[in-house]
Amino acid sequence: MSQYSFRKICSALRRYGAAGFMVCGAVSVLQRFGWNVKAMWMCDRQLGESDRSTFEAAHCRLADEGWSLRPLRYADFRRLRPLHPDLLDSHLMLQLAEAELHQGNEFVGLFDNEKLLGFGGISFIHFEISAEPLPPDAVYLWDDFVCPAHRGRKIHNLLITLRCEIAAERGRNRALALVHTFNKASRKNFEEEGFRRFALWLRLERKFQCVAAWQWGRPFRKHRIVKLQ
């Protein structure tokens, strides 16, 4: 067992007692055999005319900072990878390649001239790319990231708002997102941008591929257990 896993189990024991200890220990065992379990909050936000002032404020900030929002393709990330070796790992590159196989999935990047500040994904067809289809009026805001050197400047909030604007311009009136339960900073940013938690989502993976997912809370669809191919 790695030192990180041991600290995580001890932390679970202190915070949640024996139940947390057993759950965290079971997850660590699964990870040793190539399995992974993710616990995430499912969040949503309604989009409408009332958001116009928020979108305008976001564009004012872009102008004031001299930043630009641009589409990102797999080829762009390959070009940027030498500049961000800690960010553009092989798992992310695989996700980007997979995203381009499905029309309706895209990435946008926030740039200061040619310097990448952060990026975010948008899907108009699937929830978690290869999982269940989205409702026709919804958009899914999937993986986003702010480069470590530029954190603390509300860039993540800006990326959330700008992606919601793209969705609203294409006729969507609801935005969905998944936030890891341990990622308090990301959860705070989504809540600041009007998102609310409505369900807990558990995802079982093997070699980065989703094997099954379970949902507790208000149903996203009629059934609560989602089995993936």
CA distances from 123 to 29, 59, 80, 128, 166 (A): 33, 22, 22, 8, 11
Instruction: Of 145, 143, 192, 154, give the one whose Cα is nearest residue 38.
Output: 143
Q: How many angstroms separate the CA atoms of 176 and 155, rounded?
A: 19
Residue 164 and residue 123 share a domain: yes
Residue 65 and residue 156 share a domain: yes
Residue-wise pLDDT tens digits, 113-168: 888 888 888 888 877 644 567 788 899 998 888 888 888 999 999 999 999 999 99
pLDDT at 225: 41
**What is the tally of structural domains in the chain?**
2
Residue 71 and residue 13 share a domain: no
pLDDT at 223: 37
Residue 173 and residue 97 share a domain: yes
Residue 168 and residue 112 share a domain: yes
Identify which has the larger pLDDT, 61 or 102.
61
Residue 12 and residue 62 share a domain: no
CATH code for position 44: 3.40.630.30
Task: Compute the Cα dihedral for 188, 191, 195, 197 and give only its sign.
Answer: positive
pLDDT at position 104 over 90: no
Identify which has the larger pLDDT, 131 or 211.
211
pLDDT at position 1 over 70: no
Identify which has the larger pLDDT, 153 or 96.
153
Instruction: Of 153, 155, 131, 135, give the one whose Cα is nearest residue 145.
Output: 155
Residue 129 and residue 21 share a domain: no
Identify which has the larger pLDDT, 111 or 4.
111
Identify which has the larger pLDDT, 11 or 65.
65
Residue 161 and residue 72 share a domain: yes
Residue 217 and residue 169 share a domain: yes
Using 50, 70 and 90 to split pLDDT, how confident is the model at 221?
very low
Residue 24 and residue 40 share a domain: no
Average pLDDT, the chain: 76
Q: Which of 58-67, 79-88, 217-226 reaches the highest mean pLDDT? A: 58-67
| Domain of 86, in residue numbers | 36-227
Residue 25 and residue 40 share a domain: no
Residue 50 and residue 160 share a domain: yes
Identify which has the larger pLDDT, 182 or 23.
182
Identify which has the larger pLDDT, 16 or 73.
73
pLDDT at 29: 64
Rounded to the nearest angstrom, the gap between the alpha carbon of residue 33 and the centroid of all alpha carbons in its chain is 25
